[in-house]
Amino acid sequence: MRSNGRPASGAALAALAAASLWGTTGTAQALGPDAADPAQVGALRILVGAVALALLAGPTLWRPPRAADASRHRAGSLPPAVLFAVGGLAVAAYQVCFFVGVARSGVAVGTVVALGVAPLATGVLGRALGEGVTARWAVSTVGAVAGVVLLVIGQAAGTGAAADPVGLVAAVGAGVSYAGYTIAARALLLRGESGIRVMALLFAVGALALVPVLVGADLEWLWTVDGLVMVLWLGLVATGLAYVLFQRGLSGLPAGSVATLSLAEPVTATLLGVVVLGERLGLLTGVGMLVVVLSLLVVAVGGRGRQRPRHGRLRGDDLAAP
């Protein structure tokens, strides 16, 4: 099977590789310097990522959007500057919340809680902005939330300690922030914006929002080998390269198929947490993660055949991911 001249197998590998790179973020932070503050790590990641995405966007960064119809999407009535500002602030919030959640709750739990909350938050916010909610989405969301509850209970039982409340709240905040910049990006895409341009500008706004985190901060850890490798990996590989691979996947596969392959992210994070970091996952935690993954698969698999948006056409580079 071929799509847009590219073998489907190559597109699938690209999407799978992108999701796997996203799944390395928590472990990369854990392997970095102990002195690295999670908020500083998040700020540096999107700063490097914004530069990488801007370079990848090239001339399209300054190209005006093509005509598109977003009239029936409530967010489409907002000025583009507002959408970029809101989306960029959500990008900044996601970085801080995700890295704090992972640092305090563990790579596996922090990642899966954020990803488990994200579909619920995205659906609720999307509903508020005029997008429909299906029974399939409702069932999968209930399952994902239930899976997250099992995961957290299992983690607490496996370690013999109560789950860190700050870490869990931060992970939930990451999921909500993800929903915020996803909805903002979708509204911009429906206006005819290029996907790479949208993400480059959103990351630029997010980086500017987090500049105060770096001003006056003790960044001595950054100039160590571990610090530089961690930040460069997160910014260039887990952000810049990952988005290039993701868009290549979208150019050769339906969005639903790419979304299914993107579930490699929590799988990668969990495997790295166990194998590399030695995190302990009990039976209940494993069951909870399985429930989350299966619940998200309900939406991903069910979405095939309905890839074209009702209002406006999106190109292969127009879908963003965390």
- The answer as to whether 313 is a domain residue is no
HEC secondary structure over 19-32: HHHHCCHHHHHHHC
* pLDDT at residue 221, as a whole number: 92
Q: Is residue 319 part of a domain?
A: no
Q: Give the domain extent around 255.
A: 2-302
Regarding predicted confidence, which is higher, 172 or 143? 172
Which position has the higher pLDDT, 31 or 11? 31
Q: What's the pLDDT at 34? A: 86
CB of 207 within 8 A of CB of 87? no
* 257 domain-assigned: yes
Query: How far is it, in rounded angstroms, from Cα 236 to Cα 215?
Result: 22
Q: What is the DSSP string of 20-78?
A: HHHTTHHHHHHHS-TT--HHHHHHHHHHHHHHHHHHHHGGGGGSPPPP---TTSGGGGS
Judge whether 308 lies within some domain.
no
Say what the pLDDT of residue 37 is.
Answer: 85
Q: Does the residue 322 lie in any domain?
A: no
Q: Other C-beta atoms within 10 Å of 302: how many?
A: 15
Q: Please give the structure tokens belonging to residue 17.
A: 């590789």
- To which residue do tokens 């127009």 refer? 318
Output the six-digit token pair for 35.
């002195």
Which residues are registered as beta bridge partners of 3?
6
Residue 36 contacts by C-beta under 8 Å, 6 or more apart in sequence? 29, 221, 222, 227, 230
Total number of domains in the chain: 1
pLDDT digits (tens, 9 = 90+) for 200-253: 888 899 999 988 988 888 899 999 999 999 999 999 999 888 877 776 665 565
- Its pTM stands at 0.73
Say which residue, 313 or 278, is predicted with more confidence. 278
Q: Are 129 and 257 in contact (CB under 8 A)?
A: no
pLDDT value of position 304: 47
Looking at residue 30, its pLDDT comes to 83
Domain assignment present for 236: yes
Spatial contact of 22 and 95, defined as CB atoms under 8 Å apart? no
Q: Is residue 246 part of a domain?
A: yes
Q: Which two tokens stand for residue 70?
A: 């977003």
Q: What is the pLDDT of residues 85-143, one digit of tens each?
A: 999 999 889 888 887 887 787 766 777 788 777 767 777 776 666 666 667 767 777 77
Rounded Cα distance between 161 and 109, Å, is 14
The predicted structure's pLDDT at residue 100: 85
In angstroms, the Cα distances linking 181 to 9, 83, 294, 311, 322 are: 30, 9, 25, 19, 9
pLDDT confidence of residue 205: 93
Q: 280: pLDDT confidence band, cut at 50, 70 and 90?
A: confident
- Position 225 scores a pLDDT of 94
Give mean pLDDT, residues 144-155. Answer: 73
Dihedral sign for Cα 61, 64, 66, 70, please.
positive
- Name the pLDDT band for 47 (thresholds 50, 70, 90): very high
The candidate with the shortest Cα–Cα distance to 263, out of 288, 302, 290, is 290
Contacts of 241 (CB under 8 A, 6+ apart): 21
Answer whether residue 312 is part of any domain: no
E strand intervals along the chain = 2-3, 6-7
Query: What is the rounded average pLDDT of the residues 269-296?
Result: 78
Least confident of 25-29, 48-52, 70-74, 152-156: 70-74
